């Protein structure tokens, strides 16, 4: 993988990632394909939304169907018929989310499989091997996601463990030609975040991610971290904000120098009838859409908006038809990709401030200040 910085506007960056399987224009949003599928989407539909890279889940694919099944097809790209790059998370966050079901030691994590209850172990070496078997284009280190809230002592112990696991992940990655990203941890403590960043830079990675956000902290806490952290990360490497978020979060991340994002929000919200439009969120389940023959979003060029009315989408949702979730997902993912394309163009043209002003004006919201 190579990263080229093409333009800047303030802290915001316009770049390009190049892989053997294709290029990814940044800032980029990655749809989440947890089990080797972006829910409700054929690979060709994902491409049509403008997505160039997707995310797969190491933890879940390892447990089911298992890498031995996937390797019989080649790798994850062949298994799910996605031709572009894939980033796989390490499984650390999923292990973190198991709570009392898992036990963390220096060696790694032992937990009861959520699939069949069997006792399972995963450490940095196991995570690197699974991601190698999946054929990931971007591999994430195995880390411990610092819980929220966490006092400084708890966050420090967690961060230091993640740094040791980062070194083991780098060692185990070995001759794998895929890119390897480190993950900055440290909770809401700036001094710990900076120690984590310095430690990761010494180990050496192809890119760096910001972890431990979108785990229940208030919005202002996330913004506080984004105000100081991305700008201190190496300028010649991509910066990835994990698990974030709403369209407003993407805009604020880009304004502060983030290059890559992922989140289940557009796909999950689509299945619940919450659809993103330029003025905010439209709830298609509301009864007043029953007779609305207008498109979901007249400014959107997605297949859903070009062909179907709000009344039809409301009808599908009320009937529980799977086509409703599919059409909603097409729209939400296209909305996110249109947003990212607009941000990229604005950075390229040096008009990001005007773009941000218009973005918030359509929503009737004030523009958040930049630190």
pLDDT > 70 in the chain, percent: 100
> Phi/psi of residue 300, each to 5°?
-95, 140
Residue 77 contacts residue 57 (beta carbons within 8 Å): no
Residues placed in the known binding site: 89-93, 143, 185, 212, 300, 302, 305, 331
Residues placed in the known binding site for Zn(2+): 300, 302, 305, 331
Rg of the chain over all Cα atoms, to the nearest angstrom: 20
4-34: per-residue pLDDT in tens?
999 999 999 999 999 999 999 999 999 999 9
What was the pLDDT predicted at 93?
Answer: 80
What was the pLDDT predicted at 91?
Answer: 81
What was the pLDDT predicted at 99?
Answer: 76
Residue 120's CB is within 10 A of a number of other CB atoms, namely 19
d(CA 204, CA 166): 10
Q: Which of 230, 228, 255, 227 is nearest to 241 (CA)?
A: 230
261-291: per-residue pLDDT in tens?
999 999 999 999 999 999 999 999 999 999 9
Residues placed in the known binding site for substrate: 89-93, 143, 185, 212
Residue 208 contacts residue 197 (beta carbons within 8 Å): yes
- pLDDT tens for each residue of the chain, 371 residues long: 999 999 999 999 999 999 999 999 999 999 999 999 999 999 999 999 999 999 999 999 999 999 999 999 999 999 999 999 999 998 878 777 777 778 999 999 999 888 999 999 999 999 999 999 999 999 999 999 998 999 999 999 999 999 999 999 999 999 999 999 999 999 999 999 999 999 999 999 999 999 999 999 999 999 999 999 999 999 999 999 999 999 999 999 999 999 999 999 999 999 999 999 999 999 999 999 999 999 999 999 999 999 999 999 999 999 999 999 999 999 999 999 999 999 999 999 999 999 999 999 999 999 999 98
Which residues are known catalytic residues? 89, 262
- Dump the DSSP string for 279-330: TEEEETTSGGGTT--SBS-TT--SHHHHH-BHHHHHHHHHHT-HHHHHHHHH
81 Rama class: left (phi>0) / alpha (psi -120 to 50) / beta: left
Residue 261 three-state SS = strand
> Phi/psi of residue 275, each to 5°?
-115, 135
d(CA 246, CA 229): 20
Domains of the chain: 2-261 (3.20.20.105), 270-363 (no CATH)
What was the pLDDT predicted at 95?
Answer: 75
What was the pLDDT predicted at 330?
Answer: 99
Pairing of strands 2-9, 12-19: antiparallel
The CA-based angle 89-210-29, given to 5 degrees, is: 65
Q: Which of 184, 124, 123 is nearest to 155 (CA)?
A: 184
* Per-residue tokens: 357: 């002003």
Burial class (CB in 10 A: 0-12, 13-18, 19+), 83: exposed
What was the pLDDT predicted at 96?
Answer: 72
């Amino acid at each position: 993988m190579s990263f080229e910085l093409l333009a800047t506007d303030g802290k915001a960056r316009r770049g390009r990632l190049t892989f053997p399987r294709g290029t990814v224009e940044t800032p980029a949003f990655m749809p989440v394909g947890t089990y080797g599928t972006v829910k409700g989407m054929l690979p060709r539909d994902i491409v049509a939304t403008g997505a160039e890279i997707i995310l797969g889940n190491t933890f879940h694919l390892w447990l089911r169907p298992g890498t031995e099944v996937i390797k019989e097809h080649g790798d994850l790209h062949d298994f799910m018929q996605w031709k572009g790059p894939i980033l796989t998370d390490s499984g650390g966050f999923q292990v973190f989310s198991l709570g009392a079901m898992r036990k963390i030691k220096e060696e790694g994590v032992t937990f009861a499989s959520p699939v069949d209850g069997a006792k399972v172990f995963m450490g940095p070496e196991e995570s690197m091997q699974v991601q190698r078997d999946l054929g990931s284009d971007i591999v994430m280190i195995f880390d411990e996601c610092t819980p929220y809230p966490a006092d400084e002592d708890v966050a420090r112990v967690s961060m230091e463990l993640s740094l040791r696991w980062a070194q083991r992940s780098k060692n185990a990655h070995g001759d794998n030609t895929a890119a390897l990203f480190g993950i900055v941890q440290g909770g809401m403590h700036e001094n710990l975040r900076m120690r984590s960043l310095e430690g990761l830079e010494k180990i050496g990675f192809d890119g760096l991610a910001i972890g431990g956000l979108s785990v229940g902290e208030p919005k202002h806490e996330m913004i506080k971290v984004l105000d100081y952290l991305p700008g201190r990360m190496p300028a010649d490497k991509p910066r990835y904000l994990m698990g974030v978020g709403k369209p407003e979060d993407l805009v604020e991340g880009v304004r502060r120098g983030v290059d890559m994002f992922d989140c289940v929000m557009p796909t999950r919200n689509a299945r619940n009838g919450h659809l993103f439009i330029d003025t905010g969120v439209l709830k298609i389940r509301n009864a007043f859409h029953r007779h609305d023959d207008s498109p979901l979003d007249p400014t959107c060029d997605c297949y859903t908006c070009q062909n179907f009315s709000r009344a039809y989408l409301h009808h599908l949702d009320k009937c529980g038809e799977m086509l409703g979730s599919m059409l909603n997902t097409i729209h939400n993912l296209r909305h996110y990709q249109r947003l990212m394309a607009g941000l990229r163009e604005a950075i390229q043209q040096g008009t990001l401030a005007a773009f941000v002003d218009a973005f918030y004006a359509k929503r009737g919201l004030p523009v958040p200040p930049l630190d």
